[in-house]
Amino acid sequence: MSILSQVRELDLRTDTLAALPAAVNPMALALNENPFPPLPAVRSAVSQAVGVANRYPEFLPERLRSLIGARIGVLDEQVVLGAGATGVVSQALHAMTHPGDRIVLSTPTFDGYPILTRMARLTSVQVPLDEYGHHDLDAMADAATDAKVVVLCRPHNPTGTLESAADVERFLRHVPRETMVLLDEAYIEFVTPEHRLDSAQLVARFPNLVVLRTFSKAYGLAGLRIGYGFASPELAEELSRMQLPFGMSITSAVAVAACYEAEDQLAQRIRFITDERRHLRRRLQAMGIVSTDSHANFVYLPQQGRPWREVFRDTGLQLRYFDNGALRITAAGRASTQAVLAALAR
Ligand code: PMP
């Protein structure tokens, strides 16, 4: 290797470390990440696993499957794992669809869905949300009659809204059994218990339903890429045919086990985040700014005559702007909220 290329490689290596995002950054409010770095117990477990990174993880992630299955009260064989919920969706689309099939999405929705739709060469049928950020479930169920997949996020991203249990039930009864329903619960841990669905019972009753969850949000492990889905044993078996060999890293099972052991501390963090979301919404309301009824770790400000990009220009805040003129802000902590409110008050 020439001296020049050695120097270049050294530079690149230094740059790679420098390019790691800061674990704590009150300005990072664009991706609905958890503002807290991993708990010490989780970090220590993951470090131990990194110590054996010369070894492959399990061929298929059986241990992780059992851990999750036991926790949520379903059989191991009902659980499917992936690189984040994104990985599980990709796997589900590849297992259950052919290029040219239709997928019904609300619009706007989580950015990953249009990308995964293109990757699986599907055609999307887009059903607009109403003005309060809710799904038009009747229109979606109607469109699902000649689609292979329909996606319902609860809470929804970007609006944070929740469809009621009765509406979800009616929707599931309306969708044909041949159409796979992805019920995306990426933010479910931020939802108060009385608003949660009995998802394990739902998959027992609806054989075409896959419930999606992730360790990226409430569990604060977005960088480790751990997500899962659960479904009837028959549907889960079909999805599992696409389970990538050695596909879950050697850190994932220990990280999940450590999170489950630290559930009380995580619950405190979740309460902190949801309290901050409520505080941010109240303060926005006091300033006459409308936001949707969010049950997740973010708030959504529909377009309301203010050019949001302009408002926050030069503030250093990283926020998510939408083509429809709306804005999404991750709830992180008081310093973040104050930076947002100060920009709005200017
Ligand atoms: N579903 C929804 C609704 C999301 O907002 C996200 C991430 N923003 C995901 C799924 C995917 O998350 P991950 O792949 O990190 O698990």
The tens digit of pLDDT for each residue in 164-183 reads: 999 999 999 999 999 999 99
Q: What is the pLDDT of residue 11?
A: 81
Q: 189: which DSSP letter?
A: G
Q: What is the pLDDT of residue 9?
A: 82
Q: Which residues line ligand 1 (CB under 6 A)?
A: 32, 84-86, 110, 112, 153, 157, 184, 186, 214, 216, 222, 227
Q: What is the pLDDT of residue 153?
A: 98
Which residues, in sequence order, are bridge partners of residue 153?
184
Q: Helices then strands (H, E): number in the chain?
A: 13, 10
May I ask the CATH class of domain 43-261? alpha beta
**pLDDT reading at 41 higher than 80:** yes
Q: What is the pLDDT of residue 32?
A: 98
Q: What is the pLDDT of residue 43?
A: 97
Residues whose CB is less than 8 angstroms from the CB of residue 295 and which lie 6 or more positions away in sequence, other chains included: 155, 160, 161, 162, 187, 190, 191, 192, 195
CA dihedral 68, 74, 80, 86 (to 10 degrees): -70
136 CB-side CA count, 13 A = 17
Pocket test of ligand 1: the residue of 86, 152, 163, 183 to mutate, having most ligand atoms within 8 Å of its CB, is 86
**pLDDT reading at 228 higher than 90:** yes
Residue range(s) of every CATH 3.90.1150.10 domain in the chain: 3-30+263-345
Contact (CB, 8 A) for 173 and 202:
no
Residue that wins the pLDDT comparison between 15 and 184: 184
- Residue located nearest, by CA, to atom 1 of ligand 1: 186
Question: What confidence category does residue 288 fall into, taking pLDDT thresholds of 50, 70 and 90?
Answer: very high
Residues whose CB is less than 8 angstroms from the CB of residue 309 and which lie 6 or more positions away in sequence, other chains included: 321
86 Cα to the center of ligand 1, angstroms: 6
* Tokens 């159409």 sit on residue: 179
**pLDDT reading at 14 higher than 90:** no
231 Cα to the center of ligand 1, angstroms: 18
Q: Look over the chain and give the mean of its residue pLDDT values, rounded to a whole number.
A: 96
Please give the number of the atom of ligand 1 that sits closest to the Cα of 83: 14
Contact (CB, 8 A) for 76 and 69:
yes
Contact (CB, 8 A) for 54 and 250:
no
- Coil/strand/helix, residue 216: coil
Q: How far apart are the first and last CA of the chain?
A: 56
Please give the number of the atom of ligand 1 that sits closest to the Cα of 155: 3
| Alpha carbon distance 148, 98 (integer Å) | 9
Nearest CA to 337 among 269, 261, 281?
281
**pLDDT reading at 1 higher than 80:** no
328 Cα to the center of ligand 1, angstroms: 15
Residue range(s) of every CATH 3.40.640.10 domain in the chain: 43-261
Structural tokens at position 104:
């019904």
May I ask the CATH class of domain 3-30+263-345? alpha beta
Residues whose CB is less than 8 angstroms from the CB of residue 266 and which lie 6 or more positions away in sequence, other chains included: 39, 218, 219, 220, 259
Pocket test of ligand 1: the residue of 216, 221, 224, 226 to mutate, having most ligand atoms within 8 Å of its CB, is 216
- In one-letter notation, the amino acid at residue 142 is D
186 Cα to the center of ligand 1, angstroms: 6
Residues whose CB is less than 8 angstroms from the CB of residue 39 and which lie 6 or more positions away in sequence, other chains included: 258, 259, 262, 265, 266
Question: What confidence category does residue 79 fall into, taking pLDDT thresholds of 50, 70 and 90?
Answer: very high
